[in-house]
Structure 1
């Protein structure tokens, strides 16, 4: 199938109309749908609309990974007319991108992305069918496949109802858990302000220690830190477990828990954790703390941890869909997390911070954070 030919006039017209079309040698890409998601900020791509970005892809300052180059090919439009090219010296650049030639595709109904038509002889999965029951058959090919991200929605289940239940909008997490955090915070402060909370009162009536109200705040902070450690541990050891190639069940479980997020990192419906499955972790933690500590003290720790979880989910969503100010901590953290998705999948497990990546030696090197 011959590539579509794009004239310089069409390229200029699209950019003048507000689209963001880019060149890579003589290849034309429509990245309009990705502008706001780019880790370098939307202005970075908008400023380069209609220009050749090959030097920007090679760096410095930002060398783009092979996964990032594969990602770009999803926005392929066609070839710039040879007579329209600005500089014939760019011919050598085209030779370097042949390995990323786009497959035959049909236009997406949702964005500028072009989705491949399923070819059973070459494709590993059929995107028109639920993926959850297919991925276990990839066996030794699964790890490489799941870490090559694509910009398209994923369907996990055949049942429309079950599929709907597996998706969650970011504001659902806020609407469910934020009132719980606020109420429990008020309750703990109210109980502690009464002055009748004492340590060791259940062991002896002769000696006990009164607990002042300000103790809530360090307990709340400790709860947040405990959650951050859990966040790191869950992400590293459960979400990034390496399922055996011959274990269909573990591959399927991994894909359901986290693999689908690495395959489609900008699927907004699966960036936060649904409240019902989350409660299977949250409720047992609440019960354990109530057993181990005086009720209001255990509750103070719990509410700090719950707040940490909500902050984690919201931060994770923002790192994928937000546009933090350039030079800010969140801008750096967004670049750090994008690097985890596109090249350093075995390191960089911190989401809200890198506090645990440092002591456990899983920090993405500073020079690597500059690459995408």
Structure 2
């Protein structure tokens, strides 16, 4: 193995001045230039620490970084600081008598990778067995290839705007169809049970039915994320492990793979057809369609928001800023809680809310 590259303080200072984002943990240097836009705390916070020792910041406040976050940091390791001086922004010069490595800055063992990244991963992960659950929840910053076939591989990837372009016209069309059908005045609730006590459904009820559909989608979003996407496949079952990785494990392994953050339209349409069929069995046709279109709109909002929570930079203190930090905690530390994406609402009654961090005040 080649020896790590050595950097002088002047070289680090010059690279910081050119807009690069190098930080250090005692003498270990990391180039976070490619990560600043994705940082959960915002790009401005990370750039303000360019050239500084971030060892104290790793333990917080404002946030105590998890073992996965420290492992993630190691991916950007570029070398060692050569002399005893630091960049001008550093809090204080290094003490010559200090140990070379602070306990908070010891290299995190990233381990020997259990798969061959040069080959499609989908057919490999099932062989990980008992090691799969730990492996899949140790995120990496690299793209994932699932299939051997270039054609099938292309179908498994989706740009975020495809979801918006495909489903938004469908939402508008079905909304118009539902509203005009209700405007005819012949839709009644409970008419299949009793004509005498059935309730007429006026066209002005459509917005409320639409919102009901969005509300029901938020519950469905939570349930699917928690009980389907986060099922723990038996270690002895190759096929269930493979299915889990295809559905959601790939996203946890590579959370910033931009081509795999939204659901491809073809499989999405099959899932939607199933839920539409269920609504048709439970409700009159027009009511079922009205609830369905609200749920479809909720799904579009969900996919767009999910992409934004990974790649957006919301303003500090806003709802989306808190939601982004919440979702990143789910990925890096709390994989068994924090299942809400568009809202934390359902995490409250189901008791899966990610706990708030507390820090003791120093004397």
The TM-score, its normalising length taken from structure 1, stands at 0.90
Counterpart among 87, 93, 101 of residue 94 in structure 2: 87
Counterpart among 266, 278, 289 of residue 276 in structure 1: 266
Counterpart among 116, 125, 132 of residue 126 in structure 1: 116
Q: Which residue of 2 aligns with 1:51?
A: 52
CA-CA distance at 1:91 after TM superposition: 2.8
1:16 aligns with 2:17: yes
Q: Which residue of 2 aligns with 1:348?
A: 338
CA RMSD of aligned residues (A): 1.9
Which runs of structure 2 are paired with 1:255-266 in the superposition (5 Å)? Answer: 255-266=245-256
Q: Which moved more, 1:54-63 or 1:273-282?
A: 54-63
Runs of 5+ in structure 1 lacking a partner?
104-121
Q: Deviations over 1:188-209 (max 9, x none)?
A: 2222223233345566766754
The total of aligned residue pairs comes to: 351
Distance 1:90 1:323, change over 3 A: farther
The TM-score, its normalising length taken from structure 2, stands at 0.92
State whether residues 216 and 295 of structure 2, in contact with CA within 8 Å, keep that contact through their aligned partners in structure 1.
Answer: yes
State whether residues 84 and 94 of structure 2, in contact with CA within 8 Å, keep that contact through their aligned partners in structure 1.
Answer: no
Q: Deviations over 1:245-284 (max 9, x none)?
A: 1111111111111001000000000000001011111012
Which runs of structure 2 are paired with 1:100-115 in the superposition (5 Å)? Answer: 100=108
State whether residues 76 and 102 of structure 1, in contact with CA within 8 Å, keep that contact through their aligned partners in structure 2.
Answer: no
Runs of 5+ in structure 2 lacking a partner?
87-92
Q: Which residue of 2 aligns with 1:316?
A: 306
Structure 1 stretches of 4+ moved >4 Å: 200-208
Q: Distance in 2 between matches of 1:201 and 1:83?
A: 82
Which runs of structure 2 are paired with 1:144-163 in the superposition (5 Å)? Answer: 144-163=134-153
Q: Distance in 2 between matches of 1:102 and 1:8?
A: 27
CA-CA distance at 1:59 after TM superposition: 1.3
Q: Which residue of 2 aligns with 1:167?
A: 157
Q: Distance in 2 between matches of 1:227 and 1:221?
A: 10
Q: Distance in 1 between matches of 2:250 and 2:71?
A: 17
State whether residues 29 and 80 of structure 2, in contact with CA within 8 Å, keep that contact through their aligned partners in structure 1.
Answer: yes
Q: Which residue of 2 aligns with 1:97?
A: 105
Q: Distance in 2 between matches of 1:207 and 1:174?
A: 41
Counterpart among 244, 250, 263 of residue 254 in structure 1: 244
Q: Which residue of 1 aligns with 2:316?
A: 326
Q: Which residue of 1 aligns with 2:129?
A: 139
